[in-house]
Structure 1
Amino acid sequence: MEGLYHHQTGGCWRRTPQTPRAAAREWTPLRRAALAAADYMGDAPAVTFTQVLRHGAFRRLWIAQLVSQLGDWLALLALFSLVAFRRRGSPAAVSGIFVAFILPFALLGPAAGVLVDRWRPRTTMIGSDLVRAALAVLLAVAATLPQLYLLVFGLSAASAFFNPAQTVAIPLLVGREELLVANALGSQTMHLTKVVGPAMAGVLVAALGEKACFFVDAATFVFSAAMISTLTIHREERGAAPARSVLAELAQGLRFVAGHAAIVFVIVTTVAAILAAGLFDALIAIYVRDVLTAGSRAFGLLVSIVGAGTIAGAYLVGRFGQEVPRVRLVALGIVGCGIGILGIAVSARLEAALAASLVLGLAAAAVFVPSQTLLQEDTPPAMLGRVSATFTTTITVAQLVGILSAGRLAGWVGIRNLYYGVAAALFAVGLAGYAVARGGAGREVGAETTP
């Protein structure tokens, strides 16, 4: 009797009417190799950003993401303004906002991934948005610093559920061949809101105060929930599997990750990139001041150039990277990040540092966009929440390690020498990955895993 079976075609899990015997035939090594070759050597026209946005459901999810992320930046900048300027908080008080913001992703990410795999993506995203809307309103009436920290922690905890649910939803709303472009569009949106959001927050805080930003943020979450409520997202139910603990399902997800070389590679390389970014971000202001002997204007310009490069890089990856194996793109991106950081380290003039910063932004997009895409392609839908959350948790911990260790490492070896060391490590990881990709191991697909 014919039914719906999850099977892997060229690195992507799909729901297709097949008999069990036909599904089994998909898993012969020769069949997989032929399908993978067809994926990368086919004559299909390149997918465009306009084509992806023609999917009404994905377009509504993208608009919801754009609006809510803009609101996030309004609220975050308003929080820093409230604590640092209005309440004259200490450096420790201000840094506490960052800790409260990032810690839930490290602590709750793995468990959130398990629950996202159990729940419906649409329901999870709507619930997360409504919780965040309520917490954003409470920010406007919080009276003490611990209350602010607790609410920020709660906002990020809800985001720890929303983000993997969104990762699960995207492959169910667009075609496999459109995934890279869809993720590139998401990356562009995220970095664009990083540029526009702070500027809007400055104007809004000056005109109406911080509370106005919190209320606007709450409204953006309600808008996002309303948009997502219009989506129809079909994911095959997991069936009547025996009840398992969260730890057991988390362990199953970790075993899946460990058994897939391509996924392990993108996690390792992305961790290297995030660790390097943490070291870079924590020290770049001091580098501009002490090495380039420039001021805040130069610092702002350099950071903006990195963001602009990432937006442009996401477009270039989505437009021209569709026929390039994902692992190879990631490896080249890691090498490019090394080149960018090395260029900044050797720069004696601001103009050279700005050019290197553009390279760094372009290369960062070549790491993050195909990494996300490969996870979605090579992970069965019933496990994607866990794999995505594991990915996010790992890079969050790497970011914290980079930021917290940057000052001490720079005190030992100097900022410039530290940047040299970071660049050398990125070169080593990227070139090793590129060699693996050229040898073909980077696109190997493991055997089917029953969720």
Structure 2
Amino acid sequence: MIKYFSTMLAKSTLKNKDFLKLLTSQITSLLAQCIINYLLILKIYAETNSAYAITLLWFAYSIPVILIGPFASTIVDMVNRKTLLIFTNLFQAITILLFVPVADKYMLIYTVVFVYSLLNQFYLPAESAYVPCLFKNSELAEANGVFYLTKQVSTFVGYAAAGFLNKFLGFETSLLVCAFIALIAFFSVLTLPSFDLRKKVDIENTLLDFLKEVINGYKFIKNNKNILYPLIFISAIDVCSTIFALNVPAIAKQVLNTKIEDAAILIVTPVLLGTILGVLVFPKLLGKTLRKKTLVENSLILVVVSLVSLTAIGFVNSWIRLALIPVSSIIFGLAFMGIFIPVQTYLQEAAPKNMLGRIFGNIWFIVTLASIIPLTLSASIIELLGARSLVFAMIIFALFSRFSLHKFLEKLDNTSYTLKQSPTK
């Protein structure tokens, strides 16, 4: 990664001053978002000791994604992008400050989260749409590469920093730090050049077009089992990762017998390190010395090993436990990427290029809706049976996937079959 980043620095992308301003906005905005997300999970669980309360936090953030997300990119095309970046960054900083007076009223926290997520639905497409304004077409691949890299690093640093901030500064002071970080994002876009690319858009037709894209994508996926099954599988894995992330405080307290404020240091940071390691290693091995099927099968076993070890570690003496938790967490993050990368690569190879947008662009809408039941069920399991039972359920799912999906996993290394005709727009 360091070598790759050094190469980027030597190229013209980071010599573009306006791009550096936008990059600063992306990094600081994402840092603030990731820190806020984890701070709120810790806060709400500490106040309520309830998995349901954490699930409601996810609902509050997801509702704007479902209601506004599909049309946000269209709305971005109707307004000045620089203006949108300025106001969304400013209002997000103000919104973060609103968490301070409602810190002890967790039901009001959900309302503020909803507002923050609502603003984010406009900021993200405006940010992405601004990049092509700063570069020639031949330079976009390099610019997007830098954008992707800084996104991953910012996410890692944000979640890791949240635990440290909460532990050493406390919740309210950490919020003030986040507001300051968000203000940096605001100031970084103030002097961006203004590109007036606004165009008139028919909202009604846009809604109809979106619904048609979803329906066409759904029909194509339904009619092609070689796309449907891996998509269901990768969606299930994604839901499992969300369930794990949302319930880290409960797992830390009930399974690992550690303080929830130490969860970021002992669990979240090592898991993210494992995912980064997977991103760096697995793509180089796939297709050369390692089959997709083999990687997924071995990674599912690693998931089981890591979860079983995390369950067992809770019964070990404290100093040994504190040393073993990060190791198991790194293995879990590595295993997750060992499943995600091969299946995602398979879908990209197998799906027709003219359907990739509908499969990967619109399917999130359906996946988000489909996550409601599993997330609610996971909260019920924790409330009634405890977090250890949830970890056990995840172990059963991983074992079931490993030993019952032979035919599906075998197809990961074969994309030579014929797909049914794609629906037209």
Q: Deviations over 1:21-40 (max 9, x none)?
A: xxxxxxxxxxxxxxxxxxxx
2 CA distance for matches of 1:215 and 1:101? 23
Instruction: Letter of the 1:116 partner, please give it.
Output: S
Give the TM-score normalised by the residue count of structure 1: 0.63
Partners of 2:45 and 2:249 within 8 A in 1:
no
CA 1:301–1:352 in 2, change beyond 3 Å: closer, same or farther? Answer: closer
Instruction: Letter of the 2:93 partner, please give it.
Output: A
Partners of 2:68 and 2:121 within 8 A in 1:
no
Residue of structure 2 aligned with 1:66, choices 19, 27, 52: 27
Aligned residue number for residue 13 of structure 1:
none
Q: Deviations over 1:316-350 (max 9, x none)?
A: 467x37x869xx87x77754652332113443456
Shift of 1:246: 4.9
Partners of 1:100 and 1:152 within 8 A in 2:
yes
1:1-400 alignment, distance < 5 Å: 48-52=4-8, 54=11, 55-56=13-14, 60-76=21-37, 79=40, 89-91=47-49, 96=53, 99-100=56-57, 102-106=59-63, 108-109=65-66, 111-120=68-77, 122-123=81-82, 124-142=84-102, 145-166=106-127, 175-176=140-141, 182-205=147-170, 210=172, 212-228=173-189, 244-258=204-218, 259=220, 267-281=231-245, 295-296=258-259, 301-316=266-281, 320=284, 335=297, 337-347=299-309, 348=312, 355-365=327-337, 371=344, 390-397=362-369, 400=372
1:440 alignment partner, SS class: coil
1:307 alignment partner, SS class: helix
Aligned residue number for residue 318 of structure 2:
none
Q: How many positions carry a matched residue from both structures?
A: 386
1 CA distance for matches of 2:418 and 2:266? 39
Q: Deviations over 1:400-438 (max 9, x none)?
A: 544432255574995565233220344379865654342
CA 1:398–1:309 in 2, change beyond 3 Å: closer, same or farther? Answer: farther
2:204 alignment partner, SS class: coil
Partners of 2:65 and 2:121 within 8 A in 1:
yes
Aligned residue number for residue 415 of structure 2:
440
C-alpha RMSD of the superposition: 5.1
Matched, 1:421 2:385: no
Partners of 1:185 and 1:314 within 8 A in 2:
no
Q: Deviations over 1:269-295 (max 9, x none)?
A: 432112222454567777777777x54
Shift of 1:170: 6.6
Partners of 2:74 and 2:201 within 8 A in 1:
no
CA 1:332–1:201 in 2, change beyond 3 Å: closer, same or farther? Answer: farther
Partners of 2:45 and 2:53 within 8 A in 1:
no
1 CA distance for matches of 2:389 and 2:380? 9
1 CA distance for matches of 2:403 and 2:204? 41
Instruction: Letter of the 2:122 partner, please give it.
Output: F
CA 1:428–1:312 in 2, change beyond 3 Å: closer, same or farther? Answer: same
User: Mean alpha-carbon deviation: is it higher for 305-314 or for 256-265?
Assistant: 256-265
Instruction: Letter of the 1:115 partner, please give it.
Output: A
1 CA distance for matches of 2:98 and 2:125? 25
CA 1:241–1:152 in 2, change beyond 3 Å: closer, same or farther? Answer: closer
1 CA distance for matches of 2:415 and 2:424? 22
Partners of 1:71 and 1:217 within 8 A in 2:
yes
Shift of 1:145: 4.7
CA 1:438–1:90 in 2, change beyond 3 Å: closer, same or farther? Answer: closer
Instruction: Letter of the 2:333 partner, please give it.
Output: G
Alignment gaps of 5+ in structure 2: 314-320
Q: Deviations over 1:253-278 (max 9, x none)?
A: 31353336798677534321122224
Instruction: Letter of the 2:305 partner, please give it.
Output: G
Shift of 1:190: 0.7
2 CA distance for matches of 1:443 and 1:68? 44
Shift of 1:104: 3.7
2 CA distance for matches of 1:443 and 1:228? 48
Shift of 1:224: 2.1
1 CA distance for matches of 2:362 and 2:6? 31
1 CA distance for matches of 2:354 and 2:43? 44
Shift of 1:251: 0.9
1:276 alignment partner, SS class: helix
Instruction: Letter of the 1:273 partner, please give it.
Output: I
Shift of 1:199: 0.8
1 CA distance for matches of 2:70 and 2:200? 20
CA 1:134–1:437 in 2, change beyond 3 Å: closer, same or farther? Answer: same
1:254 alignment partner, SS class: helix
CA 1:274–1:233 in 2, change beyond 3 Å: closer, same or farther? Answer: farther
2:169 alignment partner, SS class: helix
Instruction: Letter of the 1:359 partner, please give it.
Output: I
